[in-house]
Chain A
């Protein structure tokens, strides 16, 4: 029975729940918008990394380097898309 619940994965699951609770604290306490965004961004990125590495087994096989390159490239495109959109549509520039 014990071999069916590896310690690492159980701890990872507990940690993913803790991250959710921390993110939840943003609405429980009256935080400034800046503080709230920082907490949400940090917990979101930790959550995503935890899911990919712990539960989706990124980096276990020989093509580890290609997999990470591909994920980082996807992230790069994502960040450029989001911040580029914010810059052109909301923030603007002087």
Chain B
């Protein structure tokens, strides 16, 4: 395997560069996927039927916790990559673990939120608005969950390759 040491670690081989490029193609598809879910939500947002409206349902503190968890997690994974490029293995793993905990925190708050909604009689079957909302949030939650498994598995693989 040809290793180019002038580039950051993750771009140092052809295979790694291709994997990163492949991930960007996946992200392009994600942008399109979430556009369809948002479009559906925008169309159905007033279709609340006998169920609660968004104004009834959305609580500021849970939304803020979720936002801050996700924004902080992208900051800490950025710091992790920076530490990795500096060759600071312990710091890298530390930042990755913090990132995973923040991801778990987000999921915890989201699951709590879903349980609250269902207790308030707002299920995926209650109204068109809630069907589109749960589909949108659930798809996003599924992505975070997948990332939670993906990140450690790719870290372990790269560790065993070293």
Binding site for B on A (CB under 8 A): 3-6, 9, 12-13, 16-17, 20, 24, 27, 51, 54-58, 60-63, 66-67, 70-71, 73-75, 77-79, 81-82, 84-86, 89-90
Contacts and interface: CB of A to CB of B under 8 A. Distances in A.
A75 B43 contact: no
B24 A13 contact: no
Contact of A81 (B21, B36, B64): B36
Contacts of A60: 8, 11
12 contacts: A9-B79, A12-B78, A16-B74, A55-B74, A60-B8, A61-B7, A61-B17, A71-B28, A74-B32, A81-B32, A82-B39, A85-B40
Given A61-B11, A70-B28, A77 B35 contact: yes
Nearest to B80: A4
Given A4-B83, A12-B75, 11 more contacts: A5-B79, A6-B79, A16-B74, A51-B74, A61-B17, A70-B24, A74-B31, A77-B35, A78-B31, A82-B39, A85-B43
Interface string B68-103: 100110110111011100101001000000000000
B82 A90 contact: no
Interface in B29-57: 29-32, 34-36, 38-40, 42-43
Contacts of A78: 31-32, 34-35
The binding surface of chain A is classed by DSSP as helix
A85 B35 CA distance: 10
B146 interface: no
B67 interface: yes
Contacts of B8: 60
A82 B43 CA distance: 10
A17 B71 contact: yes
